[in-house]
Amino acid sequence: MATVLLAGGAGYIGSHTAVELLNAGYEVVIADNFANSSPESVRRVEQITGKKVTLYELDIKDRAGLSEVFHAHQIDAVIHFAGLKAVGESVEKPIMYYRNNIDTTLSLLEVMQEADVKKIIFSSSATVYGETNPVPYTETMPRGVCTNPYGWTKAMMEQIFEDAARADQALSVILLRYFNPIGAHASGRIGEDPQGIPNNLMPYVTQVAVGKRACLTIYGNDYPTPDGTCTRDYIHVVDLAKGHVKAIQYILQNHCMEIINLGTGQPYSVTEIVDTFEKVNGVKINHVYGARRAGDLPACYANADKALEILGWKTELSLEDMCRDAWNWQKQNPNGYQNA
């Protein structure tokens, strides 16, 4: 079976993808510098699957170290998850974001070229659609104007991959544009482990539920949406991980340069998330309505047709599943992987 290198594979999406790849019979090698994760997630991936992962503590920007990984293993394909992803932090520390996110990408492409590895899947984001494209977003729309350095790194990296694939006819690339991944593995052993105060909605909700935060502020209820709060395309992280397995199967069998949305196509509002979480889990989420958050769009959701057409993939899990599994993870791990 093929060997897949997960750059940044100890993180939230990478660890869930590792489980699904191992379950599908792939060999998994992970390289991560634990900038936003811990080796404990990989240990738990091994527990869940009963299979071994080869783990390297490595900064992907370190070309010499990365080269050694490619010499030690016959890598068939790479998934590039390694990146910094906090929007607010990227506004405060843009140079750090450009350095880390762009450099990891260049380093991977250079070392892959040396090692003659020709298949890479990249974690892009719906954020590259910008502010002016109409929803639902389809892959043929132009990349838009991003509102923060994090978003720009994704748009720039997409451009880099497109140019690299144009120049090297043998290179295959799939740019996966994720919508809003939430939830956790059904075991509750792996999940999202944000450092400090969560920026994203679901980890904030679960921390209110577990008593770590007093109250959720809903950012704005005067948007032109059915209930006035923003709508997003929330996708269960296990569905997302299975999308990566399909993308790996596809890229191993086809020469390609594809951009593919990974979303459900179904928008839900912030209020619907809070209500569903309360109903499914029988807990109360204290919340207040506050001002809009700068940079938020009223609505963001995918046209998910292309993923079905090309990869034969669509989501299977519901919003109820997302809320139940997010809570199951948080309850079992009130401090994430800390003290594990």
Which residues form the interface with ligand NAD (CB under 6 A)? 8, 10-14, 32-37, 59-61, 81-85, 100, 104, 123, 125, 178, 180-181
Among residues 151 and 220, whose Cβ is nearest to ligand NAD? 151
Could you give the count of Cα atoms lying within 13 Å of 81 in the half-sphere of its Cβ? 29
User: How many residues appear in the chain?
Assistant: 340
16 and 238 in contact (C-beta within 8 Å)?
Answer: yes
- In angstroms, the CA 131 to CA 147 distance is 8
Pairing of strands 231-232, 268-269: antiparallel
When asked if residue 61 is in the footprint of ligand UD1 (CB under 6 A), the reply is no
Among residues 34 and 219, whose Cβ is nearest to ligand UD1? 219
- In angstroms, the CA 326 to CA 200 distance is 13
Given 12, 56, 97, 150, the catalytic residue: 150
Task: Enumerate the β-bridge partners of residue 57.
Answer: 32
Residue 269 contacts which entry, ligand NAD, ligand UD1, none (Cβ below 5-8 A, type-dependent): none
When asked if residue 204 is in the footprint of ligand UD1 (CB under 6 A), the reply is yes
| Options 61, 85, 185, 242; binder of ligand UD1; rule CB under 6 A | 85
**Residue 129: which of 259, 235, 227 has the closest Cα?**
259
When asked if residue 133 is in the footprint of ligand UD1 (CB under 6 A), the reply is no
Q: How far apart are the first and last CA of the chain?
A: 32
Residue 150 annotated in active site: yes
| Options 15, 37, 124, 180; binder of ligand UD1; rule CB under 6 A | 180
Token look-up 């609505």 returns 299
Residue whose C-beta lies closest to ligand NAD = 11
- In angstroms, the CA 215 to CA 111 distance is 47
- In angstroms, the CA 303 to CA 138 distance is 5
Among residues 42 and 201, whose Cβ is nearest to ligand UD1? 201
Residue 236 contacts which entry, ligand NAD, ligand UD1, none (Cβ below 5-8 A, type-dependent): none
Angle at 14 between CA 58 and CA 22, to 5 degrees: 105
Nearest approach, Cβ of 46 to ligand UD1 (angstroms)? Answer: 27
| Options 94, 188, 228, 295; binder of ligand UD1; rule CB under 6 A | 295
For ligand UD1, the binding residues (CB under 6 A) are: 85, 87, 125, 127, 151, 180, 199-201, 204, 216-219, 230, 232, 270, 293, 295-296, 300
Catalytic residue IDs: 150
